[in-house]
Amino acid sequence: MATLIQQIINGLSLGSIYALIAVGYSLVYSILMFSNFAHGGFLIIGGYFCYFALNSAGFNIWIAGFGALVGAGFAAVATERLTYKPIRERTSVTLYLLIASMGMNIVIENIFVIVAGGRFRALPPVIPTTPVHLFGNATTSALDLISLVTAFVFLGGLQLFLTKTKWGLAIRAAACDLRVAGLMGVNTSKLISIVFFVAGLLAAVGGIFLSVRYTLYPQLGMITIKAFVAAVIGGLGSLPGAVVGSLILGLSEMLTAGFLSSQLRDLVVFSLLVVTLIVRPTGLFGKDVKEKV
């Protein structure tokens, strides 16, 4: 029983990190109808911003974290302006955006290989990782609990932004139909920038927590593949779907590794993806195309 509780805690904390990343995928998908594979790049941009702000500039974690979030947000906006926008203006085929995003992911990764080097970097111990005992036998680290709480705070904040603000309304309108929203007087160019800014910001939150947990290196963005799978299972374009899909994925990974075999972990994850696509191609929460956000 203690083992089960332990594995569930492990799964939830992994899932909460996936959720932060998966929501970024869903957000961009809901507006532009393509999966932005450069999201992993935004994540490492956030991680490296935070690392250098802490180590070279000597800021504390709050300022460094804030800087990393804003920096990654602007990097995401710049990526959109430089790469996706010119493509969007020339063609309406979203497949080209998808391919471009794959390229951008590699570009960003290699920029960091050149600038920062391929070696592993650990963030200074700014977030406590001490063991925390729960329910008697189960143990988790303080980092896991903090990342779980942070994930929910940011996702809650996003939900408020989408439902309570004018730009949130515009984003939801654009998620239904970007062109019509444009015709109704929404500045779509600005709207897309805001969406990318938010996606980059969320990726940076995930990036900081991932770099504390798994250390920072240019290929860290690879982990977003799992988050993307989670977004697909939850239903691409649905934010609650991204969260639920992530938690399901985190739990199934940990329970498979814990009770069956660690070798079967990825097999189960990707089988889950295939089964979802066969049984319910829109994902768990993707039932109505008109309610994507």
- Reference 88, options 41, 26, 32; nearest CA is 32
Residue with tokens 């471009």: 100
Among 98, 107, 258, 282, binds other proteins (CB under 8 A): 258
Among 45, 104, 143, 208, binds other proteins (CB under 8 A): 143
Residue with tokens 């929910």: 152
Distance CA 71, CA 167 (A): 21
| Segment lying near other proteins (by CB under 8 A), choices 62-70, 77-85, 89-97, 113-121 | 113-121
Torsion of CA 50, 104, 76, 284, to 10 degrees: -100
Site membership for other proteins, residue 7 (CB under 8 A): yes
Site membership for other proteins, residue 3 (CB under 8 A): yes
Longest CA–CA span in the chain (Å) reads 60
Among 175, 253, 285, 286, binds other proteins (CB under 8 A): 253
Q: Where are the alpha helices (DSSP H) in 129-238?
A: 142-164, 166-176, 178-183, 188-214, 224-234
Angle at 71 between CA 196 and CA 73, to 5 degrees: 10
199-228: which residues touch other proteins (CB under 8 A)?
213-215, 222-223
- Count of residues interacting with other proteins (CB under 8 A): 35
Site membership for other proteins, residue 113 (CB under 8 A): no
115-134: which residues touch other proteins (CB under 8 A)?
119-122, 125, 129-131, 133
| Segment lying near other proteins (by CB under 8 A), choices 4-12, 60-68, 80-88, 154-162 | 4-12
Least distance (Å) from other proteins to the CB of residue 233? Answer: 18
**Which pair of tokens denotes residue 48?**
């490296």
The DSSP 8-state label assigned to residue 58 in this structure reads -
Q: Which spans of this chain sit near other proteins (rule: CB under 8 A)? A: 2-3, 6-7, 10, 14, 119-122, 125, 129-131, 133, 139-141, 143, 213-215, 222-223, 253-258, 261-263, 265-266
